[in-house]
Chains A and B, each alone.
Chain A
Amino acid sequence: MSGGNTGPVVGARGLGSFLLGIATWIITLLFFFPVFWMVLNGFKEEVDANTDPKLFFDPTLDRFSEVTEDTTGLLSFSEAFANSFWSVLISTIVVMAMAIPAAYALSIRPVEKWRDVLFFFISTKFLPIVAAILPLWIIARDAGLLNTRLVLIILYTAMNLPLAVWMLRSFFNEVPKELIEAASIDGAKISSQIRSVILPIVAPGLAATALLCVIFAWNEFFLAVQLNPVDGTTVPVWVQSNVSSRGNFLAKLSAASTLATLPVVLAGWVAQKRMIRGLAMGAIK
């Protein structure tokens, strides 16, 4: 079968490549199907959602208006959305504000034992949050922080900081040493050195890192549901609150899920190429 590169073999290879292409499409569509189905179900009447799978139906926006409507006594969409928005935004800003100087101190002008420090940051990611939830809950309760946005901001910052330090450090390593030396010979202060020389080069990396922090914080459920069961709770908890034990809820739940996932999915789609770079290339160099 090792017949060399003669005509028919090339033809066979072309066919093989065509078939692989078809296979890629089929596999991808299967992979995406659950998401497609969820979005589709959000446009159905409950009767149509709670039956054998229906591809064709009269689409309606009623489920979307139902789930975004404020009902007294229940967690409202606008409230959960605002809580999520502020917790995610502020925690990501704080993470970046602390991680940028830290990454600088671990790569461009490294402290002694920078490796140990980096390991310490990463090792905190291995400690399961569940093992700390009890003291966190007690401390938060005693400090009067339960059911506030502040407690989530603090914990989301702690959750994302190690990853951000690690990723940013790798991006800073990509800044050519000569550029930094030139800037320090010119007597530029560290702050202006960062602003004018380093930041422009690492900007795509910053975006990828911030995006990843946003994804993890936006999707976080455990801390939100444990620490803020009453107030200050977030979108994942709101999605879960659409599950009801009475009556059909599949279409409503689908509409809620679609709304809840939309911001992060769109952001991820837009930034996917940067994410590839940010996650792997930077992380390995």
Chain B
Amino acid sequence: MATTTPTDVIDRSEEIRRIQRKEKWRRRIPLLPALLFTIVVTQIPFLFSLYYSVTEWTIRPARPRTFNGLSNYAELVTNKFFRDALLTSVLMTVSSVLLSLLVGTGLALLLDRKVFGQGFLRTLLITPFLIMPVVASQVWSSQMLSRTFGVVNWLLETVGVDRIEFVSRYPLWSIVLVLVWQWSPFMMLIVLAGLQGQDASVLEAARVDGATSRGIFFQITLPQLRPYLELGLLLGSIYLIQVFDHVEVMTGGRGAANVPYFVYQRSIGGGWSFGQASAFSIVVVVFSIIIATFGLRVLSGLLEGEEAA
């Protein structure tokens, strides 16, 4: 009689577990280079920042680094400039993400119809997204908005309005204008993909049933676009919360320093108070994590949809 003794069973299950472990590692190995690289390059600097943030450390004038507990953080609460930067950051990110989503959706809806030269128009429209931020900022501040030679000001004068030095008068909104100009095409691409994924027969059926185009838009198109709009919101926030180039090139931080720019000014941008700047940056990270949690929930929704499908 073929019997299995207890030791055999243990051996067998050991064996199975060993194979399972091996299989798990076989699955993990392809992941490791990317994961390790990302951990080393992105996480280690933050640990350093965390350490610097509890020290008093100024390079110019050079002073030895000393531990000072949480006083860098305490100063944050009272620092008016930091609060200004925080407000600027919120205004800049929220308005540029929402506006570019709105404009991008509008452009996508226009382009989704049968229009003469559709491909050509799309090509022209995506260009601002491909332009480097430094160049976009330069073109707008020196050739469009400039008081002396700007095309916009020339137009204003032609219709009898006084010339305005837009960038120094409305630094934040000038930057937002350029951001929206650059990111609307990106949003347009995403929404276009959503519109093209629509089921034409459903739309046709709705039309036959006498639905108005407004009804079709709000009750069929918009719900279908939702995941795409969420994706745009997520990607837009990731990149627009970090805006630095536009602030640097257009204003040099005057009147529109967002938090990233502020941290820069306080540290390697001339402030050289590394301890304090690190505390600022830790706060930035905490805020980002809050936003990221929200963003990841959106993402998680996208993944749920994938599993349900």
- CB pair B140 A268 closer than 8 Å: no
- CB pair A37 B249 closer than 8 Å: no
The reply to whether the CB of A285 lies closer than 8 angstroms to some CB of chain B is yes
Given contacts A121-B38, A277-B193, whether A25 and B121 have CB atoms under 8 Å apart is: yes
The reply to whether the CB of A71 lies closer than 8 angstroms to some CB of chain B is no
- CB pair B30 A104 closer than 8 Å: yes
Q: List 7 A-B contacts (CB under 8 A).
A: A21-B113, A29-B124, A128-B284, A134-B48, A134-B281, A264-B130, A272-B126
The interface-forming segment of A72-80, A112-120, A176-184, A199-207 is: A112-120
Given contacts A106-B31, A137-B268, A276-B192, whether A31 and B134 have CB atoms under 8 Å apart is: no
A residues within 8 A CB of B37?
98, 157-158, 161
Interface of A is mostly: helix
The reply to whether the CB of A245 lies closer than 8 angstroms to some CB of chain B is no
The interface-forming segment of B2-10, B76-84, B141-149, B165-173 is: B141-149
**Which of the residues A34, A105, A127 comes within 8 Å of B181, measured between beta carbons?**
A34
Give Cα distance in the complex from A268 to B33, angstroms.
29
Chain A residue nearest to B123 (CB atoms) is: A269
Given contacts A279-B193, A280-B194, whether A127 and B288 have CB atoms under 8 Å apart is: yes
- Kindly supply a per-residue 1/0 record for chain A positions 115-143, scoring 1 wherever the CB is within 8 Å of any chain B CB and 0 otherwise: 10111111111111111111111110000
- CB pair A276 B189 closer than 8 Å: yes
**Which of the residues A105, A135, A226 comes within 8 Å of B30, measured between beta carbons?**
A105
Given contacts A27-B107, A128-B260, whether A34 and B281 have CB atoms under 8 Å apart is: no
Given contacts A53-B151, A111-B31, A250-B142, whether A133 and B306 have CB atoms under 8 Å apart is: no
Q: Which B positions have Cβ atoms within 8 angstroms of A?
A: 24, 27-31, 33-35, 37-38, 41-46, 48-49, 52, 107, 110-111, 113-117, 121-136, 138-140, 142-144, 148-149, 151, 154, 181, 184-186, 189-190, 192-194, 196-197, 212, 227-228, 231, 238, 241-242, 244-245, 248-249, 259-261, 263-264, 267-268, 274, 277-278, 281-282, 284-285, 288-289, 291-292, 295-296, 299-300, 302-303, 305-306, 309
A residues within 8 A CB of B190?
276, 279-280
- CB pair B292 A135 closer than 8 Å: no
- CB pair B132 A261 closer than 8 Å: yes
Question: Which parts of A11-34 form the interface with B (CB within 8 Å)?
Answer: 17, 20-21, 23-25, 27-29, 31-34
B residues within 8 A CB of A119?
296, 299-300
Given contacts A31-B125, A239-B132, whether A105 and B249 have CB atoms under 8 Å apart is: no
The reply to whether the CB of A93 lies closer than 8 angstroms to some CB of chain B is no
- CB pair B264 A219 closer than 8 Å: no
Could you say which interface size class chain A belongs to? 35 or more
A residues within 8 A CB of B49?
131-132, 134-135
Chain A residue nearest to B31 (CB atoms) is: A105
A residues within 8 A CB of B107?
27, 31
CB distance from A234 to the nearest CB of B (A): 10
Give Cα distance in the complex from A219 to B131, angstroms.
8
Give Cα distance in the complex from A128 to B149, angstroms.
35
Q: Report which residue of B132, B193, B227, B228 has the largest number of chain A beta carbons within 10 angstroms of its beta carbon.
A: B132
Give Cα distance in the complex from A187 to B170, angstroms.
65
- CB pair A239 B52 closer than 8 Å: no
